[in-house]
Structure 1
Amino acid sequence: MTFLRYAIYFLPPASEAWTGFGAAWLGWDVETGQELAHPEGTGLDVAVLTATPRKYGLHATMKPPFRLAKGQDLDALDKACAALANSRPAVALDGLEIARLGRFLALRPLGDLSALNALAAACVTELDRFRAPATPQELERRRAARLTPAQDAHLTRWGYPYVLDQFRFHITLTGRLDDDLLARAQALLQDRLGPLLPVPFTLGDLALVGEAGDGRFYLIHRYALSR
């Protein structure tokens, strides 16, 4: 399969019940590259609620999607990802919670986030040589979001505004919703997904994923963090 862009994700363990529910909720399994039926009996149009995040799958972004830089290739990127993961320990956190981030719902981590944030920063900085520079059109599109000076500086340097000190680990569950739908979706997810969430929560590996021509992301390889 040919990929247009690559990214470094955290993908929840495929064997976990909360991963299975979350993937079905979004309707796309990054691990298997398959569409999934949405949960039934929700009283909500889950397909509409999850249309925006569906193509990315159930994930947390550690290094945002990027095109390969000139002179780089997938084999070199794969080796660099393996080396980075081997140099970093697994991250232990207290758990996950279903939370509102602006107008959408996401899973957010609980506990001391310093090690998690340091891992994300390493993904951004240590793999930056593989990232092709953002185009003027990409920069203009990002700046339409009224970035802060710090976010604009990150956009210029790293190709994405929400990295390093602006990074917030999250696993997206919906697109942007109005207040009523936010409340209804949050209540349903709290009831069905909440009891499945891990306590504690361990981030034990990183995943290299690729965006295919259909716009969807597929798992290329997982890399275990050093124990």
Structure 2
Amino acid sequence: MRYAIHFTPPAHDPLTVAAAQWLGRNAFSGEATEPPAIRGIGIHDIAFNTALPRRYGFHATLKAPFRLAPDVTEPMLLRHLMRFAGTHSPFELPKLEVVRLGNFFGLAPVVPCDTVRFLAASVVQEFDNFRTPLSEAELERSDSGDLSAPQFANLHRWGHPYVMDEFRFHMTLTGPLSLVEMPRFDLALRDYFEPYLKRPVEIANLALFIEEEPGAPFLVHSLHPMGRVAARKIA
């Protein structure tokens, strides 16, 4: 069993529903969804090029997948996550847009957001003692060979290269694409998601995702509301 702490909008949010349809799976229910009909790109092309993010579900990573430390139980993790979420106030992200991130596409804010960077760094630090450190084999698999020095240091210290100063908030929409495929996916994604990006996205919860066995699709286990109301309920 692996756990991850992410952000994802609520299950019935229009953006969540649209993203689940694009990816072909709903991370809340685990059910498969029909890809949207988009001119210029076939449903089989969409299905093939969303296979990787489909398994992980629609999310923005805050704490990458980890196994619990030997002295930690799931109820302990849940209690701490509920309390932690209650100490952070909800906030709105800058407007999201479809962006190219290396060889894949995702949704990311049009301008940097220090608040979400602070939240992500806090999650990484707060829950580091809850994870089992990566084994040597896992470290080798996670090191692609082209990590920068800070990314390599992050991998060994925090279990993931793209944290702290290397963090960039994004919600992945495709797997790796060839240069030939990039333009048509860029156009298709912008056309499809534009109606759902008109209103601000609020970070109002932290989501616990679970992978029940190696290679299994990740599912939303629970959403944990942020803010003082949540903290008072826990107290």
CA contact (8 A) 1:64 1:160 kept: yes
Distance of 2:60 and 2:148 partners within structure 1 = 23
Question: In structure 1, the residue corresponding to 2:223 is in which secondary structure?
Answer: strand
SS of alignment partner, residue 63 of structure 2: strand
Instruction: Work out which of the residue numbers 20, 25, 33 in structure 2 matches 1:23.
Output: 20
Q: Is the 8 A contact 2:10 2:16 kept in 1?
A: yes
Q: Structure 2 CA distance, aligned partners of 1:112 and 1:153?
A: 23
State the Cα distance separating 1:134 from its structure 2 match. 0.3
CA contact (8 A) 1:8 1:207 kept: yes
TM-score by length of 1: 0.94
**Which segments of 5 or more consecutive residues in structure 2 lack a partner in the other structure?**
229-235
Q: Indicate the residue corresponding to 1:14 in structure 2.
A: 11
- C-alpha distance in 2 between matches for 1:92 and 1:219: 22
What is the aligned partner in structure 1 of residue 138 from structure 2? Answer: 138
Q: How many residues get paired? A: 224
Offset of 1:198 from its aligned partner? 4.3
SS of 1:108's equivalent in the other structure is strand
Q: For 1:28 and 1:135, locate their aligned partners in 2 and report how far apart those are by CA, in whole Å.
A: 31
In the TM superposition, 1:65-144 aligns within 5 A as 65-144=65-144
Verify the 8 A CA contact 1:107 1:172 in the aligned structure 2.
Answer: yes
Q: Report Cα offsets for 1:38-67 as digits up to 9, x if no partner.
A: 112442311111011110111111100000
Counterpart residue number, 1:176: 176
- Give a deviation string over 1:54-109, Cα, whole Å, max 9, x none: 10111111100000101101000001110110011112222100000001000001
Measure the CA separation in 2 of the matches of 1:155 and 1:112. 23
Percent of aligned pairs sharing the same letter: 39
Which amino acid is 2:218 matched to? F
Pairwise CA distance, 1:112: 4.6
Deviation at 1:199?
A: 2.6
Report if the CA contact (8 A) 1:99-1:106 is conserved: yes
Q: Name whichever structure is richer in strand by fraction.
A: 1
Question: Letter of the aligned partner of 1:107 in structure 2?
Answer: L
| Cα distance between partner residues in 1 of 2:113 and 2:145 | 26
- What is the TM-score of this pair, normalised by structure 2? 0.91
**95-104 or 39-48, which deviates more:** 39-48
